[in-house]
């Protein structure tokens, strides 16, 4: 599989924590706990009004973290994420306008796909590393395994319904570069400021195995 800046980012660890931050004050200690646990690549979803602020805080104050923005749905989302300091972007889907904006800003970008046709469309635009979402609903590891031969040369980061129970099912696949999941830092622990528990969970996730 051809490598790219997005592939290089995702290849830094087996799991990308998918994070929803509703209080910017928690952004720095959350990022530090995850990095100390062994997970450097962090995705902050644009699902709250404070997400962009959280991205900026992590980008400035936690230099060992590689912070990106998730749930990018419009070209404006891509621009705002890049301005906030995001080093990569992730979308639940793909549109020509999204891809064009990411390319114009030279922002490493991972569009989301749920079917072979969508994966082929992303590949036509030059994208070889794709988010498979929602993974479990769309056939899970069995689906990705079946895609491997007909979609040779494409890599995936499955997200959606993945946790410690089934993470290894995905990570053992040759066409999976990493996985994404929110189980590493659940909302209840973030809001409680339980950084030691999040650090331990991150360490367990980091130990799941090196991605291919």
76 is catalytic: no
Q: Average pLDDT over the chain, rounded to whole?
A: 96
Helix (H, G, I), strand (E, B) or coil at 89: strand
Q: What is the C-alpha to C-alpha distance for residues 121 and 17, in angstroms, rounded to an integer?
A: 27
Give pLDDT tens digits for 143-187: 999 999 999 999 999 999 999 999 999 999 999 999 999 999 999
pLDDT attached to residue 212: 42
Which pTM does this prediction carry?
0.95
Determine the average pLDDT of the residues in 118-125.
96
Structural domains of the chain sorted by starting position, each given as residue range(s) with its CATH number in brackets:
5-206 (3.20.20.70)
43 is catalytic: yes
Q: What is the C-alpha to C-alpha distance for residues 203 and 34, in angstroms, rounded to an integer?
A: 8
User: Which is the catalytic residue, given 76, 131, 136, 200?
Assistant: 131
| Torsion of the alpha carbons at 61, 7, 189 and 164, rounded to the nearest 10 | -150
Determine the average pLDDT of the residues in 89-94.
97
* Count of positions (residues) in the chain: 212
User: Which is the catalytic residue, given 43, 53, 76, 118?
Assistant: 43
pLDDT attached to residue 90: 98
User: What is the secondary structure of 97-149 as a DSSP string?
Assistant: HHHHHHHHTT--EE-EESSHHHHHHHHHTT--EEEETTTTTTTHHHHHHHHTT
């Amino acid at each position: 599989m051809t490598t790219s800046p997005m592939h290089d980012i995702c290849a830094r660890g087996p799991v990308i924590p998918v994070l929803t931050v509703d209080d910017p004050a928690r952004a720095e200690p959350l990022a530090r706990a995850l990095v100390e646990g062994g997970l450097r690549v962090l995705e902050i979803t644009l699902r709250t009004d404070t997400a962009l602020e959280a991205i900026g805080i992590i980008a400035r104050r936690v230099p060992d973290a590689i912070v990106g923005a998730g749930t990018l749905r419009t070209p404006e989302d891509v621009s705002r994420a890049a301005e906030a300091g995001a080093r990569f972007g992730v979308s639940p889907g793909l549109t020509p306008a999204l891809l064009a904006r990411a390319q114009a800003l030279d922002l490493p970008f991972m569009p989301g796909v749920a079917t072979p046709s969508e994966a082929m469309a992303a590949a036509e635009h030059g994208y070889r590393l794709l988010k498979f979402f929602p993974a479990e609903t769309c056939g899970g590891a069995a689906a990705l395994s079946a895609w491997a031969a007909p979609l040779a040369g494409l890599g995936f980061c499955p997200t959606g319904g993945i946790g410690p129970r089934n993470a290894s099912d995905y990570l053992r696949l040759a066409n999976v570069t990493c996985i994404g999941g929110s189980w590493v830092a659940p909302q209840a622990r973030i809001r409680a400021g339980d950084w030691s528990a999040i650090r331990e969970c991150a360490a367990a996730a980091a130990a799941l195995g090196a991605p291919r």
